[in-house]
Amino acid sequence: MILTQLLQQPTTSSKLLVCDPFRVPDQEELVKEVIGLANADVDGPRYILFGANPGAMEGSGIVGIAESAMADLKKAHRLLSALIEPVVHLAFIFDRINGKLVGALEIDGCDEGPYVVGQDLSKELSQGQSWIREGRELRAIQSADLASLGETEADNEPAEPFIPPPISVGFNDQPNCKVLEMSVPDTSNPPFAHDKQKVKEPRDLKKVIKDAVETVTTQILRLRPGYEPDIAANTAELRETKTLFADADNHYYYEEKALQLNLIVSNEGTEIVRDVSMELGFPRLPDFDVADRLYTSPFDKRSNHELKNLGYPTVKRDSAVIMVRSSIGVLAPGSPEPAFRCALRMAVGPGMRGKKIAIHYTLRGQNKQEFGKGRLKIIFGKLAQP
């Protein structure tokens, strides 16, 4: 219904951009256009339309886009949120019209502007840049003009009561899957453990590790000290050795042997839901833990900033529960979204074989308003084959 209405709108509107149907815009173009539309002096949601020519509801004007291009655009819209400040609410809507695939990126909740590039992306796209769409023109905004964009009149009208839509939450890509069986990983034979015998002194450790792996950015060993370090050994070397051991252990248990988990969240209603976030509670148990971040190889050269941009959820622990929080954003009807941009890592030991855990989740919308609760279950079965 929304797409049908968009196809009938004039292309001179500052609320609508019709993309060239014969090519998919790159990430830099999308960032500029989303910011420009978000800053536009119009009310309500704004849209970028893909796969159709303007005013082309009938006839050959509907070109359509490939399934692969649609998949790329759905992924891209999630990445855009991390590149724009303040947060802008995005949803990707698609449908088949006259047998051809048409899609639109909805930009809504544009009340907190001005919107700018949130981080350096390239030579042409740097932090603080901004644009505004005025009809068919996309105009760059100077920093001195940004403040005037945020001057809006207060809206004193009472907010409409929120009626939560039906939401389904399930494991992986199945919204109706409430119980998941997983094999317990085999952690009894850490890789390259035989190499620990070669380590006679702390300074030997780096050489042994580098000799043991072929590609240090994709493979990691776990070495446990097989010796009593000399008390007189260099303090810096001992400290470096302990750090390498800890990093290798963490990578082995929380990444290499971790069970990866994701959930799918599906809006079964007819209205778009915005500002969706999810909270999950895992029990604290022996032989079970959830990684609080991505644990990379000691030789991984990616910065903390790069790892943070992968979108691993926020994890906090207390004495009884492990809390996981994730921002999902916009849920469009019939367009399920993963709960996590980056899958959750669970460290599971042999003591969990044959046990079950319950995961309690809460869904929240705008202003952290709760609109759904539920429970999922994981059954840990047999030991995975090495």
- For the purposes of burial, counting CB atoms within 10 Å of the CB of 333, is it exposed (0-12), middle (13-18) or buried (19 or more)? middle
What percentage of residues in the chain have a pLDDT greater than 70?
Answer: 76
Query: What global pTM score does this model have?
Result: 0.52
What DSSP string runs through 87-133? Answer: --EEEEEEEEETTEEEEEEEEE---S---EE-S--SSS--TT--EEE
Euclidean distance between CA atoms 132 and 279, whole angstroms: 35
Q: Where on the phi/psi map is residue 334: left (φ > 0), alpha (ψ -120 to 50), or beta?
A: left
- The residue to which tokens 């855009």 are assigned: 80
Same topology between domain 1-150 and domain 167-187+257-381: no
The fold for domain 167-187+257-381 equals: Immunoglobulin-like (2.60.40)
Beta strands in the chain (DSSP E): 16-18, 46-50, 84-85, 89-97, 100-108, 116-117, 131-134, 137-140, 167-171, 179-184, 259-261, 263-267, 273-283, 288-290, 314-317, 321-331, 337-338, 344-348, 356-364, 370-383
Give whichever of 280-289, 299-308, 375-384 has the largest mean pLDDT.
Answer: 280-289
Query: What number is the average pLDDT over the span 190-196?
Result: 51
Q: Domain coordinates of the chain in residue numbers?
A: 1-150, 167-187+257-381
Burial of 174 (0-12, 13-18, 19+ CB in 10 A): middle
The string of pLDDT tens digits covering residues 351-386 is 999 999 999 999 998 778 888 899 999 999 877 665
Looking at residue 220, its pLDDT comes to 31
Task: Mention the CATH class of domain 1-150.
Answer: alpha beta
pLDDT band at 226 (very low <50, low <70, confident <90, very high): very low
Whether residue 199 has pLDDT greater than 60:
no
Asked if 258 and 347 touch (Cβ cutoff 8 Å), the reply is yes
Q: How far is CA 140 from CA 11, 128, 174, in A?
A: 20, 11, 43
pLDDT tens-digit map of 149-167:
655 444 445 556 667 788 9
